[in-house]
Amino acid sequence: MNFKKILCFFLFSLLVHGIKANVMFPTDTIRLKVSAQKKISSYPRQPIIIKTNPSAILWGPILFSAEYRVMVEMPSSRTQAMQFGISYLGKSPLWAIMEKQTKTGWQPHFVVNGFRIQIANKFYLIQRRRGSPFGFYIAPQVSYSNAHIALSKYRAYKKTYIDATQWSANILVGVQVGRNKRFTADVFAGLGYKKNIWTYHATSYRVGPYDTQDFGTLFNSPLKLTLGLNLGLALY
């Protein structure tokens, strides 16, 4: 009997203690949930950014070319993001204007068709308020461009063209900012290594290297200097 009385008293004490705790601290559980929500909401959402560079249409990575660029930047963590780019290469409008202004008898009108692909891994500096893809960053980047430069669009010249290739590896330093949570601007500069390879195709069987010495020291130098601006739209 004594054991049953002690057990009943113990259970009764636990019940009274639980009721008393709920009466004295009725909002403890709610406070914990609210604080957890605040902690989660303190981290801003990381958008995917679609961007381009309008000025690249004037002059692309390959001589005589215009670049129509589309890029996607996707955050992979709080401090990193992967950036992919694909471009169509056509003839530069600046070069087209120069062709129209040159009147020296028969003048070839170049036709340029090609593409460019690039990829970069961006390392963002740690920020308290915002993480990737905003703020200052350092990014290793690789790029590959290829274009066919023909003398004319006519059928007789289709097999006579220059196969122009440029590949490069760079280290970029830049900053990306956002406006109204939608519009972004990515300003960057970099230094790297590049290699230009031009091959002349006279016919299907006559292929040889094209002499690029007339293009100047900067073109033939392996040093790659980069300075650019990408404008984008953030998708949350």
**pLDDT tens, residue by residue, 216-232:** 999 999 999 999 999 99
Asked whether residue 34 falls in the same domain as residue 111, the answer is: no
Contact assessment for residue 71 and residue 51, using Cβ atoms and an 8 Å cutoff? yes
Per-residue pLDDT, 110: 84
DSSP 76: -
Asked whether residue 74 falls in the same domain as residue 8, the answer is: no
Mean pLDDT (the chain, rounded): 84
For 58-100, how does the pLDDT look when each residue is reduced to its tens digit (9 = 90+)? 999 999 999 999 999 999 999 999 999 999 999 999 988 888 8
3-state secondary structure 110-156: CEEEEEEEEEEEEEECCCCCCCCCCEEEEEEEEEEEEEEEECCCCHH
CATH number reported for the structural domain that contains residue 78 in this entry: 2.40.128
Closest CA to 186 of 236, 134, 141: 134
Asked whether residue 109 falls in the same domain as residue 11, the answer is: no
Contact assessment for residue 147 and residue 89, using Cβ atoms and an 8 Å cutoff? yes
Asked whether residue 4 falls in the same domain as residue 62, the answer is: no
Asked whether residue 154 falls in the same domain as residue 197, the answer is: yes
Asked whether residue 177 falls in the same domain as residue 74, the answer is: yes
Per-residue pLDDT, 115: 98
Asked whether residue 195 falls in the same domain as residue 161, the answer is: yes
Per-residue pLDDT, 25: 43
Give the burial string for 71-84 (b: 16+ CB within 10 Å, else e). bebebeeebbbbbe
Between CA 138 and CA 170 the distance in angstroms is 11
Strand, coil or helix: what is 79?
A: coil
Per-residue pLDDT, 210: 93
Given a cut of 80, whether residue 3 has pLDDT beyond it is: no
Asked whether residue 34 falls in the same domain as residue 140, the answer is: no
With cut-offs at 50, 70 and 90, classify the pLDDT of residue 211. Answer: very high
Q: What are phi and psi of 84, to 5 degrees?
A: -120, 145
Asked whether residue 34 falls in the same domain as residue 73, the answer is: no
The average pLDDT across 103-112 equals: 69
The average pLDDT across 106-133 equals: 85
Per-residue pLDDT, 34: 45
pLDDT above 90: percentage of residues in the chain: 60
Closest CA to 234 of 174, 175, 181: 181
Asked whether residue 187 falls in the same domain as residue 226, the answer is: yes
Range of the domain at 15: 1-42
Asked whether residue 22 falls in the same domain as residue 133, the answer is: no
What CA–CA distances, in Å, run from 166 to 86, 147, 151, 196? 15, 9, 20, 5
Q: Which residue has the higher pLDDT, 139 or 38?
A: 139
Given a cut of 80, whether residue 212 has pLDDT beyond it is: yes
Per-residue pLDDT, 152: 75
Q: How many domains does the chain have?
A: 2
Between CA 172 and CA 129 the distance in angstroms is 24
Adjacent-strand bridge partners of 225: 191
For 6-46, how does the pLDDT look when each residue is reduced to its tens digit (9 = 90+)? 556 555 555 555 554 444 445 444 444 544 454 545 667 89
Contact assessment for residue 197 and residue 165, using Cβ atoms and an 8 Å cutoff? yes
